[in-house]
Amino acid sequence: MADKLYFVGTIEAIFFSNPANFYKVLLLAITDTNADFKDDEIVVNGIIGDVVEGDSYKFFGELTNHPKYGEQLKVTTYEKDVPTSGAGLVKYLYSEHFPGIGKKTAEKIVATFPEDTIDHILETPEHLSGILSSEKLAAFVKRLSENHGMEKILSKLAKYELPSKLNFQIYDLYKEATLDVIKENPYQLVFDIKGIGFKKADKIAEDEGISATSDARIQAGLIHTVLTHSLESGDTYIEARDLLNQTIDLLESARNVEILADQVAEMINVLLAEGKLQAIGTKLFENSLYFAEDDIYQRLDKLTNSKVTKLAQDKFETIIGDVEAKLEIRYDSLQKEAIYKALTHQFFILTGGPGTGKTTVIKGIVQAYANLNHLDLNPDNYTDDVFPIVQLAPTGRAARRMNELTGLPAATIHRQLGLNSDDLEDDFGNDLSGSLLIVDEFSMVDTWLANKLFAAILPSMTVIFVGDADQLPSVGPGQVFADLLKIPDFATVRLDKIFRQGEGSTITNLAHDIKNGQLPADFTDKKADRSYIESKAVNIPNYIEQIASAWMKRGNDPFDLQVLIPMYKGVAGINQVNKSLQNLFNPLADRLEFLFQDTIFRQDDKVLHLVNEASLDVFNGDIGVITDLVPAKYTESKQDEIVMSFDGNEVSYPRAEWYKITLAYAMSIHKSQGSEFPSVIVPMVASYHRMLERNLLYTAITRAKQSLILLGEGQSFQTAVSRQGANRKTYLVERFGLTTTSDQTATRSEASPVKETVIETVIIDKTAFKEVVSDQATSDKLAVESIGQDAKAAPYVLTMENVLMIDPMIGMTAEDVAVFSKS
Ligand SMILES: Nc1ncnc2c1ncn2[C@@H]1O[C@H](COP(=O)(O)OP(=O)(O)OP(=O)(O)O)[C@@H](O)[C@H]1O
């Protein structure tokens, strides 16, 4: 095999350094190389740790040819270049790098370890205790490992083929212990390093010869499964039995091995005992979701008990009269009830479908609240004081719409709380200020974000949540809004009368029909504001192109036409439609374009922001336009950059951050939540199969304000309407001591709230269980009848409650349970 290509030299200058991902571009004065390279300097780039200008390093990598700058070295690994033996090494050790080491000491050190000197010092420094005092030795080893440890460790980490950025994160956390951690328990990385999931850790473990049945592997598999399940299903917990089975599937398929259920059950108990997993009965929770749900409950519980303010009916009528005069509207009785409840309760929830007057009621609440509390609603008059009304929404677009409709300031939850990214774990968030908080589009708020929001609410605040519970639930786990609506202790109003109807909108009526589970008889008829075109999946892009082309010919703004699709992939998927609409609306012509993965970006393209970036004031779901493409040679980042405008807010991203954007001619229905568009095209075909659900279709069509074109297969629309979609499994309602009985209500159960009842999970060895019960048929029957578990499954997962139910039938005591319980 050919020798690896290397360049040795002194760093002359560091041109660019990105602290976030360790990407660097530097200039090296070459002293040695095995490459056929004529110049005496070379530009080196790649993921490189803390290097020092003026010091010498050896860089390994490959030569690449940059069209403008010529040949460069793209680094794979590197190490500090130091003499490895003899006089050169002695000189290095008593250089300015190691204060306190004189020439004599340096000679003694090299004499102690004549071969691989630096490695030996780092591995067994105690051999130098006769040469250096313990203090001096510690300082020397620290210096040496700072100078050499990192490169050595990183070069060893390279064999695991992780992205370099992760290698640096790993080193940053474990420092000198890095290689030991990885050798002994690479699964620790799953717990400690974001971006390392079970599969990556498992691959390392396999390379290190760690057994596929090790306890550490099973624990990591469990933690991986419990979180993945919540992220994929939206549930905040998983049933112990499902966790057991899914983890076994994962562990067995990732490495060809048989995993025993008993061992997995035992590891569940270990994780529970160590607090790395939480349980309520047989429901098992990933830690952050358990504590977020519990904190929400604790805070809500206080609001439930908050006092009701008295407001005499005649006084209220006077206020409403004033408000109606000011806003030139007459509220109907349910809307008035909403305003009354909002004024008299500390916590109030308003829900309703499109056009039922939610915004109109919010405006009324704000006016009436200001009236009642003698507040000035002009924000400009609050230069020194805090404006008392806080309006928030989960997306930038929804916040802007709130601001436009009410004329008062509105912000995203992330921005107001100072949460900088989607990763909420490390963000603490600011407290809110003001006296009345209104949060719109609350159905989009997941359990983690709701928890951060509740934590920021001052005890004195009046809180109003507004949303449409029939829309899609939040992207992240939980269904906080739908759950809150089930709790009878909270003051709620469900608006159901459609006011937009009088304005000739048939879209709103269609939305309400779909919400109620039916397609109206005139579904395919052409109306003033909506139409239907029958089409097979393969023809969808073609039809959309024809509609879009006619749209343009009529002189309409391409940005006002939005295609909403459930899926990215496939012939009728978002990616395909984006390509064809980009060619129509914004063709190549004779100009620059950038290619990123499969997507081409051009100036004037419509783009969608995919993550929350509060520091730049751009958010998940924001739509913008590309205003400029800047080639790397003109940018500070030395990378190509895309400049965009999101409603006038200019943002520029270097290539490394382009994963945060995509084309937006077509976008996912999930990402469209919280936004509205003048004209919307919604295709529905059988190839979207498992996505076809009622709240998905409902969310899509309620985005259309003026016109709607439905496109696809009639049967697929029918399927979507008839599939109600499973309710997410969450435990928020039950924490109030309630039992969910239907979609919309919950009743007070006999049991007291969970905080007072500790229900223990017991995982029981099946064989031992049968021994106690003695008779196989009885034990199987009992298992099925009393715990609803398949008698073939092993082990049994029971709660103490179940055990006590079994108790009278088989004469078993709590002590007996303890004998065969694995915990
Ligand atoms: N009491 C009322 N009398 C007359 N018109 C009303 C009344 N309430 C609401 N409207 C009108 O109905 C239309 C829809 O109201 P509004 O925008 O407040 O509903 P919404 O529930 O916020 O709708 P969406 O969720 O679709 O934005 C508006 O034009 C509004 O002026």
Model pLDDT for residues 114-129, shown as the tens digit of each residue = 888 888 888 888 999 8
pLDDT score for 811? 45
pLDDT score for 483? 94
Hey, what's the torsion of the CAs at 244, 248, 251, 257, to 10 degrees? 150
Mean pLDDT of 616-636: 89
Model pLDDT for residues 439-482, shown as the tens digit of each residue = 999 999 999 999 999 999 988 899 999 999 888 888 899 999 99
Taking the CA of residue 335 as reference, the ligand 1 atom at the shortest distance is 1
Mean pLDDT of 93-114: 88
- Give whole-number Cα distances, 6 to 32, 34, 154, 284, 502, in Å: 8, 6, 16, 52, 76
Helices 333-344, 358-372: inter-axial angle, 10-degree rounding:
50
Report d(CA 330, CA 350) in Å as an integer.
18
* DSSP symbol at 748: E
Mean pLDDT of 811-822: 47
Query: Which comes out higher in pLDDT, residue 542 or 762?
Result: 542
Mean pLDDT of 778-792: 51
Instruction: Report the relative pairing of strands 41-47 and 23-33 from DSSP bridges.
Output: antiparallel
Q: To test ligand 1's pocket by mutation, which of 339, 499, 706 has the most ligand atoms within 8 angstroms of CB?
A: 499
pLDDT score for 305? 65
pLDDT score for 821? 47
Q: Compute the half-sphere exposure of residue 187: CA atoms within 13 Å on the CB side of its CA.
A: 21
Q: What is the DSSP string of 111-163?
A: HH--SSHHHHHHH-GGGGTTTS-HHHHHHHHHHHIIIIIHHHHHHHHGGG---
Is 241 near ligand 1, meaning CB less than 6 Å away? no
pLDDT score for 486? 92
Confidence band, pLDDT 50/70/90 cuts, at residue 768: low
Q: Is the pLDDT of residue 248 over 50?
A: yes
Residue of minimum CA distance from atom 14 in ligand 1: 355
Q: To test ligand 1's pocket by mutation, which of 336, 337, 360, 466 has the most ligand atoms within 8 angstroms of CB?
A: 360
Confidence band, pLDDT 50/70/90 cuts, at residue 646: very high
> Is residue 80 marked as binding?
no
Residues whose CB falls within 8 Å of the CB of residue 591, separated by 6 or more in sequence, listed in order: 602, 603
Model pLDDT for residues 701-736, shown as the tens digit of each residue = 999 989 999 999 999 999 999 988 778 999 999 998
Report d(CA 591, CA 595) in Å as an integer.
13
Report d(CA 617, CA 595) in Å as an integer.
26
Say what the pTM is: 0.75
Of 343, 399, 335, nearest in space to 371 by CA: 343
Q: Among 214-228, 613-627, 662-676, 783-797, name the one with the lowest average pLDDT.
A: 783-797
Report d(CA 638, CA 66) in Å as an integer.
12
Report d(CA 677, CA 311) in Å as an integer.
40
Q: Report residue 555 CA to chain centroid gap.
A: 39
Q: What is the DSSP string of 628-663?
A: EEE-GGGSTTSS-EEEEEETTEEEEEEGGGGGGEEE
Q: Is the pLDDT of residue 214 over 80?
A: yes
Q: Is the pLDDT of residue 238 over 80?
A: yes
Is 331 near ligand 1, meaning CB less than 6 Å away? yes
Is 356 near ligand 1, meaning CB less than 6 Å away? yes
pLDDT score for 215? 95
- Reading phi first (left if > 0) and then psi (alpha if -120 to 50, else beta), residue 655 is in alpha
ipTM score assigned to the predicted complex:
0.98
Model pLDDT for residues 145-155, shown as the tens digit of each residue = 777 767 677 77
Q: Is the pLDDT of residue 168 over 80?
A: no
Mean pLDDT of 525-550: 94
**441 class by beta-carbon count within 10 Å (0-12 exposed, 13-18 middle, 19+ buried):** buried
Report d(CA 255, CA 212) in Å as an integer.
7
Mean pLDDT of 383-409: 90
Report d(CA 304, CA 484) in Å as an integer.
11
Mean pLDDT of 55-59: 87
Q: What is the largest CA-CA distance in the chain?
A: 98
Residue type, 435: S
Asked if the peptide bond before residue 795 counts as cis, ω within 30 degrees of 0, the response is yes
Residues whose CB falls within 8 Å of the CB of residue 817, separated by 6 or more in sequence, listed in order: 762, 764, 800, 803
Give the pair of three-digit tokens for residue 117. Answer: 């000197």
Contact 607, 541 (CB under 8 A): no
* DSSP symbol at 418: T
Model pLDDT for residues 338-373, shown as the tens digit of each residue = 999 999 999 999 999 888 899 999 999 999 999 999
pLDDT score for 606? 97
Confidence band, pLDDT 50/70/90 cuts, at residue 385: confident
* DSSP symbol at 705: E
Is 500 near ligand 1, meaning CB less than 6 Å away? yes
Query: Which comes out higher in pLDDT, residue 630 or 752?
Result: 630
User: What mean pLDDT, rounded, does the chain reach?
Assistant: 85
Query: Which comes out higher in pLDDT, residue 750 or 99?
Result: 99
Q: Among 400-404, 465-469, 491-495, 767-771, name the one with the lowest average pLDDT.
A: 767-771
Q: Is the pLDDT of residue 427 over 80?
A: no
Q: Is the pLDDT of residue 687 over 90?
A: no
Q: Among 184-198, 271-285, 489-503, 655-669, name the one with the lowest average pLDDT.
A: 489-503
